[in-house]
Amino acid sequence: MTAKLKIFTNDTDWYVARDIEHVKELFKVFVGSTFEELDEVEDLWYALPDDATLSITYDRDDFNEDLEKLPQVCSIDFVSGTVKVKAAVNEWMTISSPGFLCSTEW
């Protein structure tokens, strides 16, 4: 049986993964370094509940509603130079595959 995917975060980066070990594998691929090499604290990572709300903000110049893969049930707010898409975690999971999802540092 395949483990259910979840969204994991350390409140800075968000990854779609099966568990924390999977997050560490994906992190290494995306960042190019391991948790240990960057002194990343594993205990700060946690899985979001499926019914939690997750908002992802896009730069308005990079956002095309017709081309973006968005959750079916979501709200979209255009504010200044950004676009904020808000949906339940389980809605984000319907369009996500394992890997990096978003970050507050980009």
Domain boundary assignment for the chain: 6-103
- At position 39, the amino acid (one-letter code) is D
What is the pLDDT, as a whole number, of residue 47? 98
Q: Which pLDDT does position 106 carry in this prediction?
A: 66
Strand order of the β-sheet with 53-59 is 53-59, 82-88, 75-79
| pLDDT tens by residue, the chain, 106 residues | 567 999 999 999 999 999 999 999 999 999 999 999 999 999 999 999 999 999 999 999 999 989 999 999 999 999 999 999 999 999 999 999 999 999 998 6
Contact 65, 33 (CB under 8 A): no
- Position 105 scores a pLDDT of 87
Locate 38 and state its tokens: 């960057």
Position 22 scores a pLDDT of 98
Beta bridge partners of 46: 9
Q: DSSP letters of 46-100?
A: EEPPTTSEEEEEEEGGG--TTTS---SS-EEEEETTEEEEEEEHHHHHTT--SEE
